[in-house]
């Protein structure tokens, strides 16, 4: 045996409470270890069809739904590369780190990018988008992110979509962090393309992006002058595989789709509105605890995400050292600030599997131990007591 | 609960013996159900580092190795989009269905494609490549497929690589079906970029592509005038995540990487030369059985793949009906012919988990039952007897 054959496989247990991936539900882990079928097997098509139907339910749509192989960013790239041709104009509503990733992707495919910048950590200024649409004729596509994971703000997607369509543009939205943790009305808000990922509020595995494409969006893809620069991310080809014809494209990541199928089934068993309510309740308790620890919540209450809480790092405290100690001593991962927010905030994800009282109490307890070591004094037990009070009022059921 | 919540998750058991995916080894399935860490966790970086080292071993290289999120086709696209700029010339050695996929991808990114066609089912005519290289100056890249899954032929990669470099071009090779089932000397054959997939001879999961990139290849990526049109498939960004800096890119498909880690560890425990020998032995037994059943092997003996056996469909027999009956009555999946070979051949994969005596005997037994129903008479037990004789000579150890 060569000397570098590694020993038995083992990784430390982590309580994942960052921006994602979160922990995967045990039932989903189990589904991923199911012996696979072929990816052109009618038995597998039945699984795909179930995923299609369940995605429609969560997206509240009758449109085409499917999974793109790759991370949430693959869903982002599939949308941009399929809906835009080189030289076409795209307006990117920009109020966070992942909006800027969209800019980078759209530039790479040769689109004419109009970045409309709005303040990070606040709701998008709709007047800025209106002005940009009035100034630029022939805008092909407007993009936005419903729940910017870098800032923790819920954005007014319905209004942005309406503005886009009033000016004849298509509308694409990132639902990576919102999917199954906040309401999405794909049809009701007249969205053309939405993409998400299972490793957030769905308690599923990372590795695919879950997308919906309107009829108008599909016509745009089918009516292109030239095919998209990417074969793998060509939504027309992917739709042909996921559609009733199940036409051969690339090999499906079967174990991940098994996991997604199970994660979606669990979301529907719980009920999507009930799951959204759970996320709200758990976040409320966590915010009560965080406030009791004398920490600041910089996002205004009316636009805060429930699935991702942004906490201000107290002055003089080393952001990185606190996170490292939470990980090393308590096995808890929380997120750092990105871009403009680097070193200034922590990001705590209470999504899917992590949206439960035990996680809230564990993190608050850990913070009560760790923060005083870095000079931020807290009343012992204050955070846990405040959170427990919320849970006692109305117990949270966790599947 | 909404009416379309599906029932308990279940798929039929399949013995996968097509061109891929093949079955996943139980130890790999188990690894994929391990609770995950974050993808920027140092504990996860240790797993990535192990995968890097083990990939180097199988590729016989000291070059950069990594995984691209997506299927084997994602590895194909990552190479083409990262190594070629629009307008640059690429020569595609074309002798099968997947070579033609490369043509389609290269055209989409705006490269000038020179397709050098050689007969399907035969070794590439090197004179054709030499002539094309002499006629076309400034060829940036030459591509080839080591084991064309559509034809079952092992191609002379070392010679094609030398021709490319003699004319100043980079050389990229598809090792999807050859990886861990045939020898690959990435350094010895002076390859610049190779990609593979775990769901073939590695007995791992589909969903990532396993790649190696030479220093010269990396310089080509870093020295581009414009970044690749794809952000997800930019080998420079992916290398920064997989390299010692582990710089943030997209979220890694963690459960699949856990599976790949375990599948690679198993390959190294068995020994790569021993695994290649196992593939040879199992294929030899299967070919003996197939011949005893009076079926034709259209690929010349000196260029046949061991991991994929191509069988001629006897005249008058309905290709599809035989495959359907194997699946419905015996739970065995074999592959159909693609492109020029459609309806003319079956493709049987004896790779990784399916490269074992039990699978050979099961398929031969099933064929002995099914073929006579379609008018192809066989001597009962002839196939199994011939195969068993080979196994008896030198027993095969299956991990």
For the stretch B229-257, pLDDT in tens is 999 999 999 999 999 999 999 999 999 99
Q: How do strand A15-16 and strand A332-333 relate by DSSP bridges?
A: parallel
Size of interface A-B (CB pairs under 8 A): 264
DSSP string, A308-323: EEEEEPPTT--HHHHH
State the Cα–Cα distance between residues B150 and B134, nearest whole angstrom: 29
Residue B5 lies in a domain: no
Out of A44, A207, A251, name the one closest to residue B72 (CB): A251
Per-residue pLDDT band at A139 (split at 50, 70, 90): very high
Residue B6 lies in a domain: no
Given a cut of 80, whether residue B67 has pLDDT beyond it is yes
Q: Which pLDDT does position B3 carry in this prediction?
A: 60
Please tell me if residue A14 touches chain B, with a CB cutoff of 8 Å. Answer: yes
Q: How many CB atoms lie within 10 A of CB A162?
A: 15
Distance of residue B84 Cα from the nearest chain A Cα, in angstroms: 12
Residue B171 lies in a domain: yes
Out of B105, B233, B269, name the one closest to residue A1 (CB): B269
Give per-residue pLDDT as tens, A34-93: 999 999 999 999 999 999 999 999 999 999 999 999 999 999 999 999 999 999 999 999
Residues of B with CB below 8 A from A275's CB?
none
Give per-residue pLDDT as tens, B341-371: 999 999 999 999 999 999 999 999 999 999 9
Which domain range does residue A317 map to? 271-393
Q: Is the peptide bond before B288 cis (omega within 30 degrees of 0)?
A: no
CB burial of residue A168 (10 Å; 0-12, 13-18, 19+): exposed
Interface mutation vs chain B, best among A42, A231, A238, most B CBs within 10 Å: A231
pLDDT, mean of residues B134-157:
96
Asked if B69 contacts B254 with a C-beta cutoff of 8 angstroms, the reply is no
Out of A11, A72, A251, name the one closest to residue B20 (CB): A251
Q: Which pLDDT does position B1 carry in this prediction?
A: 40
Give per-residue pLDDT as tens, A145-190: 999 999 999 999 999 999 999 999 999 999 999 999 999 999 999 9
Query: How far separated are the first and last CA of chain A, in Å rounded?
Result: 45
Question: How many domains does one find in chain A?
Answer: 2
Per-residue pLDDT band at B380 (split at 50, 70, 90): confident
Task: Examine the domain organization and report whether A126 and A254 are in the same domain.
Answer: yes
Virtual torsion, Cα A246, A251, A254, A255, nearest 10 deg: -170
Beta bridge partners of A66: A211
Residues of A with CB below 8 A from B259's CB?
255
The verdict on ipTM greater than 0.85 is yes
pLDDT, mean of residues B254-261:
98
Give per-residue pLDDT as tens, A214-243: 999 999 999 999 999 999 999 999 999 999
- Cβ separation A21–B36 shorter than 8 A: yes
Task: Examine the domain organization and report whether A213 and A294 are in the same domain.
Answer: no
Task: Examine the domain organization and report whether B216 and B311 are in the same domain.
Answer: no
- Last residue of one domain, picked from the residues B230, B253, B269: B269
State the Cα–Cα distance between residues A305 and A146, nearest whole angstrom: 10
Distance of residue B79 Cα from the nearest chain A Cα, in angstroms: 12
Distance of residue B128 Cα from the nearest chain A Cα, in angstroms: 28
The domain spanning residue B127 has which CATH number?
3.40.640.10
- Cβ separation A11–B43 shorter than 8 A: yes
Query: How far separated are the first and last CA of chain B, in Å rounded?
Result: 45
Distance of residue A78 Cα from the nearest chain B Cα, in angstroms: 10
Residue bearing tokens 């982590």:
A14
Distance of residue B105 Cα from the nearest chain A Cα, in angstroms: 6
Distance of residue A101 Cα from the nearest chain B Cα, in angstroms: 9
Counting residues of chain B whose pLDDT is more than 90, the rounded percentage is 98
Task: Examine the domain organization and report whether B316 and B265 are in the same domain.
Answer: no
Per-residue pLDDT band at A1 (split at 50, 70, 90): very low
For chain B, positions 42-81, list CB contacts with chain A under 8 A. 43-44, 47, 50, 53-54, 57, 69-74, 77, 81
- Last residue of one domain, picked from the residues B239, B269, B299: B269
Task: Examine the domain organization and report whether B72 and B201 are in the same domain.
Answer: yes
Task: Examine the domain organization and report whether A265 and A365 are in the same domain.
Answer: no
Residue A215 lies in a domain: yes
Q: Which pLDDT does position A208 carry in this prediction?
A: 98
- Cβ separation A81–B36 shorter than 8 A: no
Residue A8 lies in a domain: no
- Cβ separation A253–B256 shorter than 8 A: yes
- Cβ separation B232–A11 shorter than 8 A: no
Residues of A with CB below 8 A from B226's CB?
108
For chain A, positions 155-174, list CB contacts with chain B under 8 A. none
- Cβ separation B33–A34 shorter than 8 A: no
Task: Examine the domain organization and report whether B297 and B251 are in the same domain.
Answer: no
The domain spanning residue B308 has which CATH number?
3.90.1150.10
Residue A9 lies in a domain: no
Give per-residue pLDDT as tens, A325-337: 999 999 999 999 9
Task: Examine the domain organization and report whether B127 and B212 are in the same domain.
Answer: yes
Q: What CA–CA distances, in Å, run from A397 to A353, B107, B146?
A: 12, 53, 54
Chain A: residue whose CA lies nearest to B257? A207
Residues of B with CB below 8 A from A43's CB?
11-12, 14
Residue A398 lies in a domain: no
Residues of A with CB below 8 A from B251's CB?
20-21, 71-73, 197, 199, 206
Out of B34, B206, B265, name the one closest to residue A253 (CB): B206
Given a cut of 50, whether residue A342 has pLDDT beyond it is yes
For chain A, positions 325-354, list CB contacts with chain B under 8 A. 327, 333
- Cβ separation B50–A6 shorter than 8 A: yes
- Cβ separation A229–B231 shorter than 8 A: no
State the Cα–Cα distance between residues A306 and A291, nearest whole angstrom: 15
Give per-residue pLDDT as tens, B154-194: 999 999 999 999 999 999 999 999 999 999 999 999 999 99
Q: What CA–CA distances, in Å, run from B357 to B264, B361, B384?
A: 22, 6, 10
Asked if A25 contacts B277 with a C-beta cutoff of 8 angstroms, the reply is no
For chain B, positions 188-217, list CB contacts with chain A under 8 A. 197, 199, 205-207
State the Cα–Cα distance between residues B162 and B175, nearest whole angstrom: 17
State the Cα–Cα distance between residues A387 and A372, nearest whole angstrom: 19
Out of A5, A23, A38, name the one closest to residue B14 (CB): A38
Interface mutation vs chain A, best among B18, B32, B113, B225, most A CBs within 10 Å: B32
Q: Which pLDDT does position A3 carry in this prediction?
A: 60
Out of B43, B57, B70, name the one closest to residue A12 (CB): B43
Q: Under DSSP, is residue B198 helix (H, G, I), strand (E, B) or coil?
A: coil
Distance of residue B104 Cα from the nearest chain A Cα, in angstroms: 8
Q: Which pLDDT does position B387 carry in this prediction?
A: 98
Given a cut of 50, whether residue B292 has pLDDT beyond it is yes
Chain B: residue whose CA lies nearest to A198? B253
- Last residue of one domain, picked from the residues A269, A290, A323: A269
- Cβ separation A253–B251 shorter than 8 A: no
Q: Quote the mean pLDDT of chain B.
A: 97
Distance of residue B238 Cα from the nearest chain A Cα, in angstroms: 13
Task: Examine the domain organization and report whether A264 and A302 are in the same domain.
Answer: no
DSSP string, A106-133: HHHTT-EEEEEE--TTS---HHHHHHHH
Residue A11 lies in a domain: no
Give per-residue pLDDT as tens, A355-392: 999 999 999 999 999 999 999 999 889 999 999 999 99
SS3 content of chain A, % helix, strand, coil (to 5): 45, 15, 40
Distance of residue B166 Cα from the nearest chain A Cα, in angstroms: 30
**Among candidates B212, B273, B278, B251, which has minimal Cα distance to B51?**
B212
Please tell me if residue A6 touches chain B, with a CB cutoff of 8 Å. Answer: yes
Given a cut of 70, whether residue B2 has pLDDT beyond it is no
Task: Examine the domain organization and report whether A276 and A263 are in the same domain.
Answer: no
Task: Examine the domain organization and report whether B346 and B216 are in the same domain.
Answer: no
| Predicted model pTM | 0.98
Task: Examine the domain organization and report whether B159 and B289 are in the same domain.
Answer: no
């Amino acid at each position: 045996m060569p000397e570098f054959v590694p020993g038995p496989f083992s990784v430390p247990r982590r309580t994942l409470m960052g921006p994602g991936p979160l922990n995967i539900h045990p039932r989903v882990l189990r589904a991923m270890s199911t012996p696979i079928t072929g990816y052109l097997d009618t038995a597998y098509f039945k699984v795909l069809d179930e995923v299609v139907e369940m995605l429609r339910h969560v997206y509240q749509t009758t449109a085409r739904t499917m999974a793109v192989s790759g991370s949430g960013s693959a869903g982002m790239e599939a949308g941009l590369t399929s809906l835009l041709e080189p030289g076409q104009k795209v307006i990117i509503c920009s109020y966070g780190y992942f909006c800027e990733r969209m800019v980078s992707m759209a530039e790479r495919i040769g689109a004419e990018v109009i970045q409309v910048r709005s303040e990070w950590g606040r709701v998008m200024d709709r007047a800025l988008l209106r002005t940009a649409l009035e100034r630029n004729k022939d805008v092909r596509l407007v993009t936005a992110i419903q729940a910017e994971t870098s800032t923790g703000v819920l954005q007014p997607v319905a209004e942005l979509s309406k503005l886009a369509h009033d000016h004849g543009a298509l509308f694409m939205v990132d639902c990576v962090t919102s999917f199954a943790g906040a309401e999405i009305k794909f049809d009701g808000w007249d969205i053309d393309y939405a993409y998400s990922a299972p490793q957030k509020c769905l308690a599923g595995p990372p590795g695919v992006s879950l997308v919906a494409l309107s009829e108008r969006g599909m016509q745009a893809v089918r009516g292109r002058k030239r095919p998209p620069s990417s074969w793998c991310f060509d939504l027309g080809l992917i739709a042909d595989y996921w559609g009733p014809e199940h036409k051969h494209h690339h090999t499906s990541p079967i174990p991940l789709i098994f996991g997604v199928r199970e994660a979606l089934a669990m979301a529907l068993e719980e009920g999507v509105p009930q799951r959204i309510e759970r996320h709200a309740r758990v976040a409320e308790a966590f915010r009560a605890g965080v406030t009791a620890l004398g920490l600041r919540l910089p996002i205004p209450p009316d636009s805060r995400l429930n699935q991702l809480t942004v906490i201000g790092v107290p002055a003089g405290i080393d952001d990185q050292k606190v996170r490292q100690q939470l990980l090393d001593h308590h096995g808890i991962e929380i997120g750092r600030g990105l871009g403009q927010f680097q070193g200034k905030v922590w990001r705590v994800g209470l999504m899917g599997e992590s949206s439960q009282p035990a996680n809230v109490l564990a993190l608050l307890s850990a913070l009560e131990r760790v923060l005083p070591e870095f000079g931020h004094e807290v009343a012992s037990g204050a955070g846990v007591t405040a959170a427990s009070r919320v849970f006692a009022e109305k117990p949270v059921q966790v599947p």
